[in-house]
Amino acid sequence: MEKVKSQKDFADGNYLSKWVDDSSFGNLYKKSPITNVSWFAATEYCKCQGKRLPTLDEWEYVAMANKTMPDARLLEDYNKYILSWYETPKTYSNPIGKTYKNYWGIYDMHGLVWEWISDFNSVMISGESRKDSNNDRELFCGSASLGASDLMNYAAFMRYAFRGSIKAKYSIQNLGFRCVKDIPSK
């Protein structure tokens, strides 16, 4: 017999912890990102809006852009900007739209909060083989950046490590989400 899922299976004790109740922000700044939500809650919210969470590839592709270039990863200043965000505390309380609009017209890809993606644990495998049919996606190692010969992608390593250390039910103060909508093909 299958176990009946409870609320604790879908969100930890931090879920909406700063809110007064399910529909009231309380003291939170109204233009700050919504955080302390689980992957399950973020996914369902996006569905209710007729949208979805972005995939890993979509998020990383859009995140490569600065204000004027679709791929700014080779620019030293761009990489310094991203890394400086990781050192800045409490960015989750900043208003949405505080950072620049990138080449694709998207705000806050770096500098506000970490973000859930639809397939946040898709690149994590635990066995010796990619054919490992017994993957345990709750056992991750996030230290891949230590052996990197090119630290240009250190920020990406940090994102992979963060995603690798969380479970879908976690509700973290500096982790939010954004919804994306597919454009119908013509």
Contact yes or no for 109/47 (Cβ under 8 A): no
Least confident span in 52-61, 79-88, 104-113, 170-179: 79-88
Of 103, 93, 114, 95, the C-alpha closest to 163 is: 114
Contact yes or no for 108/97 (Cβ under 8 A): yes
Tens digit of each residue's pLDDT (9 = 90 or more) over 158-169: 565 555 667 889
Taking the alpha carbons at both ends of the chain, their separation in whole angstroms is: 46
Cα separation, 94 vs 102, in Å, equals 18
The 10 Å CB-count burial string (b at 16+, else e) for 111-122 is bbbbbbbbebbe
Coil vs helix vs strand at 101: strand
Tens digit of each residue's pLDDT (9 = 90 or more) over 27-55: 666 788 889 999 999 999 999 999 999 99
Cα separation, 32 vs 67, in Å, equals 22
Evaluate if residue 104 carries a pLDDT over 90: yes
Residue 9 exposure: Cα atoms within 13 Å on the Cβ side: 4
List the helix and strand counts (H, then E) for the chain. 5, 2
Domains in the chain: boundaries: 30-123+167-180
pLDDT, average across residues 17-32? 74
Coil vs helix vs strand at 147: helix
Cα separation, 67 vs 51, in Å, equals 25
Asked if CATH classification 3.90.1580.10 holds for the domain at 30-123+167-180, the reply, yes or no, is yes
